[in-house]
Structure 1
Amino acid sequence: MTDGAMAPGLSGSASDPEMHVRTVESAQLVGGLAEFDQWYDECGKQNYTDVERVPLEDLAGWRTDPATGNIGHHSGKFFTVQGLDVRLPGAPVSAWTQPIINQPEVGILGILVKEFDGVLHCLMQAKVEPGNANGVQLSPTVQATRSNYTGVHKGKAVPYLEYFRDRDRPHRMIADVRQSEQGAWFHRKRNRNMIIEVFEPVEVLDGFCWLTVGQVHELLQVEDLINMDARTVLACLPFAGAQPTDATSGADEFRTALMRSCEGGPGSRHSMGDILAWITDARTQYDDVHATMIPLDQVRGWRRNQEAIWHETGAFFRVVGVNVRAGGREVGQWMQPMIEPLGVGLVAVLVKRIDGVLHVLMHARVEAGYLDVIELGPTVQCTPENYDHLTPAARPPFLDEVLAASPDQLRYDTVLSEEGGRFYHARNRYLVVETDRDVPVQQYPDYRWMTLSQLGELLRHSHYVNIQARSLIACLHSLWSKQAAFA
């Protein structure tokens, strides 16, 4: 960890192509985290949440609409819990209704980056959310909803927000794209994912620290440490097009294939034009999908009392209420509803070396809350126990293969938390599983092998790659470093 007050500035002469090289060079610098560990422990003492479960009917500042049953904030801001009616013709489960969070405003998730001694660093924040299972996690420099940064909560100002809103500042925009959130729990929710390089001195406030890309990647190996909002922004770092450096010489065959996957040269199974046509065809095929907002009191198969809302099978998730007392936050106390998923989910990609280039098996995935029907998701994305309540035909392809993977197939295996501001103790086991099997497109038309360079190209645009897949892209990038690699 580098002390920002001691680090020199940079004149800002690097061209965009050099950004790939600088990112990779920073990714090679891992370790040296003893100072970070001490800082992180201290942040955990100063930043905390005391979360008490309370009945939905007792949430101060929130009201249930007597006409619809919808749960909303008295200000009309933040979010509402409503109902969603989904029609998916031809699917194993072709229709259902469910509660869903409707949060139409676009928030900001942003990371400041800056060179110190010729090495790129990321400004990360120790942030606590009421839904975190373990307290403090590392988040982006800025992680704020529009309601928060416009002061609806009447709390403290969001630190460093001016760097992401003031275009007159002398900085370079590395990434700026709107991306979706969980399509199963949010209705068309989007956040602005941003990476900005600064050249001026930056005061390091309490609860913030500078880390190299490699140090952040090393921390991605730790359970529940790098939060979801940080992972989605980290996925936007420009690895695609990077060339291997001297620091990566002598890499094993897997890492060499990973590097080639990021390079963007020849060797991809499908061309970028073919990939885009496949996505467009899939979206056209599913244009008869209908997801309609309905009153919450009209959802079928769900039960509700003063305490909570839950599915009659006891599966999927619950809507619960919490009373939060917090330290180190813009606001010290509040109440809110949250989604509490039941069980630890599984988010996994199969990867394969094809002609010496690592490919990732991506799924054209339909989720009711997506803005454009389909986004590319991981090979497998589910909570396995939920399929005990569904027909065998609904069981995801490749799920059993992932669950049966041997230890020598696992290139990444860590439990990571999802968004702690709206979801209570939502955790997924993230896996990268190497395989040598073929996946014929005739048998699996909704799946394609893609390189990391191709995924990086899609990440420059909105609504192509879902948030779970973006997390796994960040995890795959973390394997660039020899110290972080499993093999």
Structure 2
Amino acid sequence: MSQRIARSLWGAGDAAQGLQDFHSWFTGYRDRDASQIRRIDFDALTGWRFEDTTGDLVHDSGGFFSVKGLNVRTGQGVSQRRWSQPIISQPEIGVLGILVKEFDGVLHCLMQAKMEPGNCNGVQLSPTVQATKSNYTGVHGGKAVPYLDYFRNAPSRRVITDVLQSEQGSWFYRKRNRNIIVEVSEHVDVREGFHWLPVGLLHELLFTDDLVNMDARTVLSCLPLSGTGLSTAHPFEGDPFRSALVASLSADEGALRTSRQIQHWISDARVRSEMDTTPVGLGEIEGWSRSADRISHGTGLYFDVMAVDVRAGSREVRSWTQPMIEARNLGVAAFLVRRIEGVVHVLANIKAEPGFLDQVEVAPTVQCTPEDYRRAPAEDRPPFLDEVLQAPRDSVRFDTVLSEEGGRFFHTRNRYLIVEAEPDRAISVPDDFCWLTLHQLAGLIQHSHSVNIQARSLTACLHSLTLRPTGN
């Protein structure tokens, strides 16, 4: 399967014509979208209320999601740190699915142009199916979710990947989605707002700001691109960096650490994790205050809980109101990479987040909001933050601003960076960091709750780098 995906990724034909056709379709659909989103006060929410006893923000149906409170403690003794925060509770498992089909020897993905109320630009490219359980069981009272049965009733022989993945552990409490890719051979009726895209073209679109949405990126990261023999079948001669990327995808090339050592690193971090979380009422959290239209931290940093009114022209339900989370500032998610004996390795961090089911997951080298550390002393700044933000232009391999999930987060975006370290520079690596090949990272993604959403997005971006010649 990896060789087949690789051939589709790197041999998709006339890329320029494909991009032109895509933008003609996508721009036309986006221009026809008549959706209107406006901020509202909490008392203008319909079907939502603050519970008298807890202060939690809940839906009258008991479905969808709720905004609760969480008390968090990390560390021990003098290094102990405590905080409280709002967090989204959505215990149901959603479906994020992409249908794939081969046309003229090239795998294509059936993608959807989808409006989400939190998208900064209205419509973005999403998976074939992007639905919560409340959506597909009809709690919203709207139309059925298109193509859902391909994923709920898929024969196992057609399933390319199927794994439960986490979402943002800082904003969701133990949230999981089923990331599933299913191949079909029969004819599929293409509905309005859907389009077959070659897998290579879809990765090329990752270089465009705010186009491929978070849900599409996480499913794309699950494509089993890594395997044996890739570096010999696709050597990219004359382009050392691309060759090193493909070598990194190849299971038969070298790695700094064995997969067994990496699994030990993760398991040991979970055992040693000193993060304790206690769900509490939203009205009980300290340091946060509620006004007519938002719940904010006293410092003015981090994020707000706010509300929107939605008038949608292309959704299962045409109008609704809902609360959302809005980040105060642009975040950064970055992988520092380097070539080690001709094989690209990424520097991964093992990171605890309060909403994770298993406490810690593999994360990017840097994952933070730089503005939150603007006044912090140098020793409190995240490791490698200054290195990725101040990297010379010729060492930055990927630099695109991408939106986070527009169904729950309002205009919340991260700058996704891949920076190559100088090969001869010594890098001191703390114990909670580890050099991984793309093959090893891909293997971890095939296991539930192992790699966080930001690192999965960056994995898809790393795959896209194999499309562009670098010459060095």
TM-score bracket relative to the smaller structure: over 0.9
Q: Deviations over 1:125-179 (max 9, x none)?
A: 10010000011110000000000011100111111001001135x8611100000
Q: Tell me the distance in 1 between the aligned counterparts of 2:329 and 2:351.
A: 21
**1:154 is aligned to 2:136:** no
Q: What is the one-letter code of the residue matched to 2:396?
A: L
Which of 16, 20, 29 aligns to 1:34? It is 20
Confirm or deny: 8 A CA contact 2:305 2:323 kept in the other structure: yes
Which of 63, 81, 84 aligns to 1:94? It is 81
Q: Deviations over 1:92-141 (max 9, x none)?
A: 67110000100100000000011011111111110010000011110000
**1:368 is aligned to 2:354:** yes
Q: CA deviation at 1:392?
A: 4.6
Q: CA deviation at 1:438?
A: 3.6
Confirm or deny: 8 A CA contact 1:412 1:486 kept in the other structure: no
Stretch moving more, 386-395 or 77-86: 386-395
- TM-score w.r.t. the length of structure 2 is 0.95
Which of 90, 109, 116 aligns to 1:129? It is 116
Which of 325, 336, 345 aligns to 2:322? It is 336
Q: CA deviation at 1:213?
A: 1.2
Q: CA deviation at 1:227?
A: 0.3
State how 1:155-304 maps to structure 2 within 5 Å.
Answer: 155-168=142-155, 172-241=158-227, 243-244=230-231, 249-286=236-273, 288-304=274-290
- Alignment size in residue pairs: 464
Partner of 2:381: 395
**1:20 is aligned to 2:5:** no
RMSD: 1.6
Give the secondary-structure state (helix, strand or coil) at the position aligned to 2:357: coil
Confirm or deny: 8 A CA contact 1:417 1:427 kept in the other structure: yes
User: Are residues 108 and 48 of structure 1, via their aligned partners in 2, closer, same or farther at CA, if it must alter by over 3 Å?
Assistant: farther
Q: Tell me the distance in 2 between the aligned counterparts of 1:364 and 1:400.
A: 19
State how 1:2-17 maps to structure 2 within 5 Å.
Answer: none
Q: Tell me the distance in 1 between the aligned counterparts of 2:31 and 2:388.
A: 38
Stretch moving more, 447-456 or 90-99: 90-99
Confirm or deny: 8 A CA contact 2:113 2:193 kept in the other structure: yes
Confirm or deny: 8 A CA contact 1:223 1:415 kept in the other structure: yes
Confirm or deny: 8 A CA contact 1:347 1:380 kept in the other structure: yes
- TM-score w.r.t. the length of structure 1 is 0.92
Which of 83, 107, 126 aligns to 1:120? It is 107
Give the secondary-structure state (helix, strand or coil) at the position aligned to 1:130: coil
Q: Tell me the distance in 2 between the aligned counterparts of 1:316 and 1:390.
A: 14
Confirm or deny: 8 A CA contact 2:240 2:471 kept in the other structure: no
Which of 313, 335, 346 aligns to 1:327? It is 313
User: Are residues 166 and 478 of structure 1, via their aligned partners in 2, closer, same or farther at CA, if it must alter by over 3 Å?
Assistant: same
Q: What is the one-letter code of the residue matched to 1:454?
A: Q
Q: Tell me the distance in 2 between the aligned counterparts of 1:307 and 1:456.
A: 42
Q: Deviations over 1:355-392 (max 9, x none)?
A: 11000000000100000110000000011011236565
Q: CA deviation at 1:250?
A: 2.5
Q: Tell me the distance in 2 between the aligned counterparts of 1:486 and 1:428.
A: 28
User: Are residues 438 and 450 of structure 1, via their aligned partners in 2, closer, same or farther at CA, if it must alter by over 3 Å?
Assistant: farther
Q: Tell me the distance in 1 between the aligned counterparts of 2:377 and 2:65.
A: 33
Q: CA deviation at 1:237?
A: 0.8
Q: Deviations over 1:199-253 (max 9, x none)?
A: 1111111111111111011111100000000000000111111514766532511
Identity value in percent: 54
Partner of 1:6: none
Give the secondary-structure state (helix, strand or coil) at the position aligned to 1:268: coil
- The answer for unaligned runs of 5 or more in structure 2 is none
